[in-house]
Chain A
Amino acid sequence: MKRILAIAALSLAAAASQAQITPPDELVKNVMLDIQGIIVTDKDLRSGDREKTIGLIEQKALPHFNQVGMTALAVGVHWRKATPEQKQRLVEEFRTLILRTYASSLSAFGDQKFEFRPVKLAPEQDDATVQVRVLQSGSQPILLEYDMQKTPGGWKCYDVRIAGISLVVNYRTEFGIIVRDKGIDGLIDALATKNKSLEGRGSAGK
């Protein structure tokens, strides 16, 4: 009995480590189709139920983001000057902001068709960009690009570009101006104020 348990545990562990090294292109595809599948079958999500949408993203998408790395890139050169406490606050506030923004754009994420592009990986490669094209009638397809990094916990995303617009670069410019004028604490305050103002809104609806 013990032996069987041990074998079961081992194979579980093997399955877990297998899951950890899901290639980046496959990972992006799985997560996107998973989220799309859930939205399509859930009326609340389709009509923009905010809390539910945020829960869905927290559960399905967020674990695949390198949140500290993303925040560091967005804060840019000022990151090194921040104290550990400031860094922690920045990561938390930035995470909340991204989450809320993401949630409000997700209700528009219905029955689009995705075209997933395979990524060729060299064995030692630890950085890759995964491209997904969103096809829509009458308009130019929109290219989504996920910059991914291999970590012990699997591939993690550290920047997203939508039609060539990088989230990190956008915020870096914005944050840079605030830090220059008001310092790191000023940036934390600005982010916290922004998040509070978004909290007041009930739904992500139109």
Chain B
Amino acid sequence: MICRALLPALVLAAAGCASTGGGDPRDPLEGWNRGVYAFNDAADAAVLKPVAEAYRTVTPEALREAVRNFFNNLDDLWIGTNNLLQGKPADAFSDWMRFAVNSTFGILGLFDVASRGQLEKHNEDLGQTLARWGVGDGPYLMLPFLGPSTTRDTAALPVDWLADPVLTARPIALRNSLTAFRFVERRADLLDASRTLEEASLDRYVFLRESFFQRRRNLIYDGRPPRERPPVE
């Protein structure tokens, strides 16, 4: 409801800072996206960042690590499924082993014993799987609250959510608390990165977009992206 009320304001803001032409071909909706980014930034500065900072201040690092491990462990099942869908059964098996080991010996995932046992953590989602299947990025999209994405990844997101043990947890009250907790925890993990972004960039929006595309490409190719060659003239 709040979102709907804000939309016209966002459109106005977007029109106000529409690009001067000759923008990035990957980002045809730049004007709109910049509006959403400004909104995210304001929401972050007003609520999320202070909460994340407070969380980081009051929680000892060992406890934060356990919380991080707990949430990350829940992701491993779906990561494994995506590895299987991408034709990497060995990685899929490793992800499921991680889940089995960490959920038992790691006490419900609070300890990442699997990493110590050479079962390395992976990073996969349905957007990456679709990319491996040949689906292109599509226009860059800045999602409210969630940040940078592509059209392809946004389309895949609802399926990722359906496979997410936190978002599908019941009762609803538990789901909501877990979701909020995870959101704060992940934001707290990004505090250093967001400060770097702020300090390193001349135009945060452009810097973030470029980082996002490079990072995403790197994830899609599991850290080994093919070298980009200059086009033949």
Contact = CB atoms under 8 A, between A and B. Distances in A.
Interface string A162-206: 011110011001110110110000000011001000100000001
Given A108-B192, A137-B65, A174 B112 contact: no
A139 B202 contact: no
Given A100-B199, A164-B215, A140 B112 contact: no
Nearest to A141: B120
Chain A interface mostly: helix
Interface stretch (B2-10, B85-93, B169-177, B203-211): B203-211
Looking at chain B, what size class is its interface with the partner chain?
35 or more
B231 interface: no
A170 B68 contact: no
B214 A138 contact: no
Contact of A138 (B112, B195, B200): B112
A170 B192 contact: no
A97 B200 contact: yes
Looking at chain A, what size class is its interface with the partner chain?
20 to 34
Contacts of A180: 22
B103 interface: no
Contacts of B201: 174
Interface in B211-226: 211, 214-215, 217-219, 223, 225
Contacts of A181: 20
A124 to B, nearest CB: 21
Interface string B106-123: 000000100100001111
Interface of A: 97, 100-101, 104-105, 108, 135, 137-141, 143, 163-166, 169-170, 173-175, 177-178, 180-181, 190-191, 194, 198, 206
